Structure 1
Amino acid sequence: MLKSIKTISLAVVAVSAMTLGAGVANAAGGGEVHIEKHEWPHAGPFGKYDKAALQRGFQVYREVCSACHSLEMVAFRELDALGYNEDEIKAFAKEYDVVDGPNDDGEMFTRPGRPSDYFPSPFANDKEARAANGGAYPPDFSVLAKSREHLSLFTPWNSIYGEDYIVALLMGYKEAPEGFTVMDGLNYNTVFDGNQIAMAPPLSDEQVEYADGTPATVEQMSMDVATFMYWASEPKMEERKSLGLRVMGFMIVLTILLYFANKSVWAKLDDEDGRS
């Protein structure tokens, strides 16, 4: 029995290591790539989102990324978590045209967005999206950060977090090394699978003007939009962590009470055995 358990454990470790290794290798198209780890305020059991960073990241998304990338699983009203008030959210929603209907004539129509609407796609369909991006489909931002994670329970120091991958990708545009041929319409990137990506470098210094006066460097914008993308993929993270901590606290108190109750019961039984 113990031998079987040991065999299964070793198999799990091996599979985990192979999965992580494949993820790291794939990120660089077959060769291991270094992805810098950053200190994220929302990381860890007590972490919370940096609302200033979320607002800056949302600004980068609106002014740069939304031309190609959708955010179809996020509703405008959820932006209150970023610190925006009702009037600001209504103003953001009105910037977008939303398809609605059918009307009394049985036809679909467009109208200004409402807080209850979800962010609409910038393209009518997948084919239009591919045609506008050289045949490559721009992924939706709703779950992209989580989908780029490669986590390992056994070697957590080698885990790749979605935010770190996004930052590395956005800052990974370089000149192709000598002898490397970049296909027409593609760009060399040190992180992307195969080192060739259809998306041109999307960010440049001072591309946006942050409302809070933060210098808009490529690194700063990459960090901010990565934070926003992680929030988009897990908007209820703070509530989940808060609930988890309350449950853990309850379990600790319950364990202590059960320990003393058990001790009291056995103490009475020992006394009765002694008297008998």
Structure 2
Amino acid sequence: MLPLFMRSIKFLVGFAFIGVLALALFGTITGLIKEPPQPTAEEEFHHHPKALALKSDGPFGKFDNAQIQRGFLVFEKVCSTCHSLSLASFRELGDIGYSEAEVKKIAKDWPIKQPVQDAKAGTWGERDNLPSDRFPKVYYPGTGSPPDLTLIAKARHGGGAYIYSLLTGYEEQQPAELLKKFPGAKTPEGSHYNPYFANLSIAMPPPLTGDDQVTYSDGTRATKDQMAKDVAAFLVWSAEPTMEKRHAAGLAVVLFLLFATVLAYGAYLTVWRGVKH
């Protein structure tokens, strides 16, 4: 009699637990229907990246070395004072059309040198960069360092389009509608409003402040928009410099599989020819 009573208690406890969960679920769904969650400032005013067409887009895309060289110049003259490219080496610039002599000169003239230690004296010094060296890191003692840009095109949704949009998306003032709906979303002192950034406020001042910040050797006009596109193309390349080789290998594999499929089908027809089903 007691075991039957205990089993009944177990079932009652189980049903009561299920009932409480069902009641809680019903209350949650009812609350969401009556009072749906309101979008945050970031959700409502954040912009998706602008469209950006690069020659490297798509499965058959190829890098435009002239544009990537222009983008590297923008990175060198504008971005490199704050951001590192520490996962790339100087000699990789040869893959985008720079000669060996040009790579050596770029490495030697790079403003941040390679740190070296004198083992005997226990002191640190500097030496010129070599083509085999990676780009030196940029340090800000006590405040940390801005993000390394080597893989930024892979790390951000939208890749090159995100970089282009961010660089050209700074606005001097926040929209009046934003401040009206979300008074607490005012851009903090020292930050800048950019609707393409995740939380709408970014500490980095606009790096591209106007036209002709650099001078392109190929005669291209260095407008703000053009520089943003070019540096975006460069950072797409730095994130995956072997993309063209990967595309070529993938195409070769697909062609091989198609050829092997045709051969296999031909062998199947030959082996089973004359055999009645």
CA contact (8 A) 1:170 1:222 kept: yes
Match of 2:251 in 1: 245
Counting aligned pairs with the same residue, the percent is 41
For the pair 1:199 / 2:204, whether they are aligned, the reply is yes
Gap regions ≥5 residues in structure 2: 1-38, 180-184
Match of 2:231 in 1: 225
CA contact (8 A) 1:145 1:233 kept: yes
Cα distance in 1, alignment partners of residues 207 and 42 from structure 2: 21
Residues 129 and 83 of structure 1, relative CA distance in 2, 3 Å threshold: farther
Match of 1:176 in 2: 174
Cα distance in 1, alignment partners of residues 258 and 87 from structure 2: 37
Cα distance in 1, alignment partners of residues 150 and 263 from structure 2: 44
Aligned positions of 1:127-276 closer than 5 A = 127-128=141-142, 130=144, 137-149=145-157, 161-174=158-171, 175-178=173-176, 179=179, 181-203=186-208, 204-268=210-274, 270=275
Cα distance in 2, alignment partners of residues 128 and 73 from structure 1: 23
Match of 1:89 in 2: 103
State TM-score, norm by structure 1. Answer: 0.77
Cα distance in 2, alignment partners of residues 117 and 34 from structure 1: 37
Cα distance in 1, alignment partners of residues 51 and 273 from structure 2: 53
Cα distance in 1, alignment partners of residues 262 and 123 from structure 2: 65
Say how many residue pairs are matched.
227
Residues 128 and 216 of structure 1, relative CA distance in 2, 3 Å threshold: farther
Cα distance in 2, alignment partners of residues 209 and 69 from structure 1: 21
CA contact (8 A) 2:52 2:164 kept: no
State TM-score, norm by structure 2. Answer: 0.77
Match of 2:127 in 1: 111
Which structure has the greater CA radius of gyration?
A: 2
Cα distance in 2, alignment partners of residues 109 and 234 from structure 1: 33
Cα distance in 1, alignment partners of residues 88 and 190 from structure 2: 31
What is the CA-CA distance between 1:103 and the residue it aligns to? 4.1
What SS is found at the alignment partner of 2:48?
A: coil
Match of 1:79 in 2: 93
For the pair 1:62 / 2:60, whether they are aligned, the reply is no
Q: Deviations over 1:113-167 (max 9, x none)?
A: 00000000122x6x4453xxxxxx4110111011112xxxxxxxxxxx2100111
Structure 1 range deviating more: 233-242 or 34-43: 34-43
Cα distance in 2, alignment partners of residues 129 and 121 from structure 1: 14
Q: Deviations over 1:155-204 (max 9, x none)?
A: xxxxxx21001111111101222236221100111111221110111102
CA contact (8 A) 1:68 1:129 kept: no
Cα distance in 2, alignment partners of residues 116 and 38 from structure 1: 33
Amino acid aligned to 1:236: T
Cα distance in 2, alignment partners of residues 186 and 264 from structure 1: 73
Match of 2:43 in 1: 30
Cα distance in 1, alignment partners of residues 159 and 118 from structure 2: 39
